[in-house]
Amino acid sequence: MKYFFRVNAISILYALMVFLPVELMANVYRINRLTNWRVDTVNLLTGVMILFEITAGSLLMISFTKKWLGRRKANYWTIILWIPYFVLFLYIFASLFPITYGGDDPNPVTGLFIIGELLAHPLYIFLLNLFVITADE
C-alpha cells in the first residue's frame, strides 16, 4: 500500500511538472495585464522559468524516484498515472481563475506548443524512469 501512495505522489509531481509550463504559456497576456510588464519580458521570464523547472525538476524527480520507488518495473505506471492529476489541476485552475477578459485568451500557436509538450511528456517520464532503473549506484 505504501508503494501505491508513493507512485501516486510521484505521478502528482510529474503532473505538476507539465502543468506549470502549460499555465505559464497559456497565461502570458493575463500576466502582462496584471503586472504591467511588456509581453516580451513575460515571454522571456516564462522561458527562463520553464528551463529552470525542467532542469531542477528532472534532478528532483530522479532523486525522489530512486529514494521512494527504487528500481522496480512498476515505476513505469507513472507514464500513465500523471494524466488524471494533470486534468484535475487544469480543472481546478480553470474553475478558480476563469478567463473573464477576452484579451487574456492565448495565441492559437500556444496550443501547438502545449500539444507538443503533452506528447513529449510520457517519453520524458519513460527516459527518467529508465535512467533510474538502469543507473549504477
From the list 57, 74, 73, the residue with the least C-alpha distance to 134 is 73
Q: How far apart (Å, rounded) are the C-alpha atoms in residues 28 and 17?
A: 18
Domain enclosing residue 110, as ranges: 2-134
Q: Provide the Cα torsion 111, 117, 118, 121; round to 10°.
A: -170
pLDDT tens digits along 13-22 = 999 999 999 9
Number of separate domains in the chain = 1
Instruction: Tell me how far CA of residue 114 lies from CA of 80, 111, 123, in angstroms.
Output: 18, 5, 15
Report helix, strand or coil for 10: helix
pLDDT of the chain, 137 residues: tens digit per residue: 999 999 999 999 999 999 999 999 999 999 999 999 999 999 999 999 999 999 999 999 999 999 999 889 899 999 999 999 999 999 999 999 999 998 899 989 999 999 999 999 999 999 999 999 998 66
Report helix, strand or coil for 42: helix
Q: Does residue 91 contact residue 24 with C-beta atoms inside 8 Å?
A: no
How far does CA 114 lie from the centroid of its chain? 11
